[in-house]
Structure 1
Amino acid sequence: MSRELFVLTYGALVAQLCKDYEKDEDVNKYLDRMGYGIGIRLIEDFLARSAVRKCHSYSEIADMIAQVAFKMYLGITPSVTCINKRGNKFSLILNKNPLVDFVEELPAGRSSLCYCNLLCGVIRGALEMINLAAEVTFIQDRLKGDDVTEIGITFLRKLEDKKCKKK
């Protein structure tokens, strides 16, 4: 599917969700849940097509998300900054966000709508499939008047493998 068709279809989806749900929080949750479902399926395609090596730190994972995954699926490369001393909190700065190519502003009365919340769900779902729990949220959004679009990723913990352990 061409990127333009995907972006237009996504815009129609968000518009329909705004009609279906009164509260922005409900639309945001729906987009996150939908993205999560995409992320848990997309990770297999990503690993198969990218031939990435095993990452040994959260900073390597954040770089991989920005430099490989975003480039592969959205055609952009966000910059990555670590925002804490523990090294588990990162920001992805998107100078260009292809999901908003045809969007000039948020719908009237929808100031708390997180239009691209699908991306947070995709990242969170993909990370969970490689046994990493993470919190992923939008920190800044150009659609809300910010200078840049910024996605925050906080790596919470490594999840336990779901295999039975010997006692």
Structure 2
Amino acid sequence: MLVVEQQRGRMNANKLKQYGEDQWRAKPDKLNAELFVMTYGALVMQLVQDYEDYSAVNKELDKMGYNIGTRLIEEFLSKNPEVKCKNFNDTGEAIAKVGFKTFLNITPEVVHNGSNEFTLVIEDNPLNQFVVLPDTAIREGLLYSNVLAGCIRGCLEMINISTTVDFLSDELLGQESTAIKVKLIKYLEEQVPSDDM
């Protein structure tokens, strides 16, 4: 039975990967990647100058990502009605193979750590192009791509999934790859506004 479930999971992951590829090719409004990367770099540099504290910059990048994610999920759901997730593992596969592919043209590897946690491993983080962090930023733990963690958290919260999203490693900090751990806290109850009752 386990083998059948694993094969189904692989088939689902393969279908999602192909679906993500199709979505990327069909997307007419692609932004020039280099322009995006340089604009993001300028934003991070400005935050570093404004805050002069890397932990505050990390928090601000997470907050910005969260706000982006709460809006990005609407576009994702409207353009991808075929994507259905039965459990948290499926959610990880959909984020990697459809979400990241659609919006960043990358497909992170998904490493499942049980049924309530997964790690997204990005071999070549597109946000890290053209970037070399100063030694002080490395020492003090600047999470240059922390906007991604916030974005994932914001997207999931909008579909009633409360998570923690943390960086395990970052290429810019001298590690082999960028790894982002997503851990399920709980499924949130859908709240109906009092006006709708």
Same fold per superposition (TM over 0.5): yes
Q: Which structure 2 residue ranges, 5 or more long, are not aligned? A: 1-30
The answer for the alignment partner of 1:100 in structure 2 is 128
Partner of residue 14 from structure 1, selected from 27, 33, 44: 44
The reply to whether residue 139 of structure 1 matches residue 148 of structure 2 is: no
Please show how residues 5-154 of structure 1 align to structure 2 within 5 Å. 5-84=35-114, 87-103=115-131, 105-111=132-138, 112-154=141-183
Amino acid of the structure 1 residue aligned with 2:80: S
- Provide the aligned length of Structure 1 versus Structure 2: 162
Percent identity (aligned): 46
Distance in 2 (alpha carbons) for counterparts of 1:12 and 1:129: 29
Aligned-partner SS, 1:150: strand
Query: Is this contact kept in 1: 2:83–2:94, CA < 8 A?
Result: no
Where do 4+ consecutive residues of structure 1 move more than 3 Å? none
Amino acid of the structure 1 residue aligned with 2:123: N
Over aligned residue pairs, what C-alpha RMSD do you find? 1.3
> CA 1:99–1:164 in structure 2 vs 1: closer, same or farther (change >3 Å)?
closer
- What is the CA distance between 1:164 and its match in structure 2? 6.6
Relative to total residues, which structure has the larger helix share, 1 or 2? 2
TM-score by length of 2: 0.79
- What is the CA distance between 1:2 and its match in structure 2? 1.7
Of 14-23 and 30-39, the range deviating more from structure 2: 14-23
- What is the CA distance between 1:31 and its match in structure 2? 0.3
TM-score by length of 1: 0.93
